[in-house]
Amino acid sequence: MSVRPVHDQVLEQARRLAGDDRCFRVAEVVRALPHLNPATVRTHVASRCCINAPANHSTRHAYFRSVGRGVYRLQPKFDVKEKSCQGWQDAIITRLGTGVDHTQIVESLKLSHTERLDAMRGVGASLEGLSRRT
Q: Which of 4-8, 33-37, 82-86 has the lowest mean pLDDT?
A: 82-86
Q: Residue 53's pLDDT is what?
A: 85
| Every domain of the chain and the residues it spans | 6-82, 88-133
* Of 54 and 86, more confident: 54
Using pLDDT thresholds of 50, 70 and 90, give the confidence band for residue 3.
Answer: confident
This prediction's pTM: 0.58
The answer to whether residues 46 and 35 touch, using CB atoms and an 8 Å cutoff, is: no
Using pLDDT thresholds of 50, 70 and 90, give the confidence band for residue 82.
Answer: very low
Q: In terms of CATH architecture, what is 6-82? A: Orthogonal Bundle (1.10)
DSSP three-state, residue 60: coil
Integer CA distances (angstroms), 36 to 39, 57, 119, in order: 9, 19, 41
Residue 90 has pLDDT above 70, yes or no: no
CA distance 44 to 38: 10
Residue 85 has pLDDT above 60, yes or no: no
Q: Residue 84's pLDDT is what?
A: 45
Residue 8 has pLDDT above 50, yes or no: yes
Return the axis-axis angle of helices 88-95 and 102-109, rounded to nearest 10°: 160
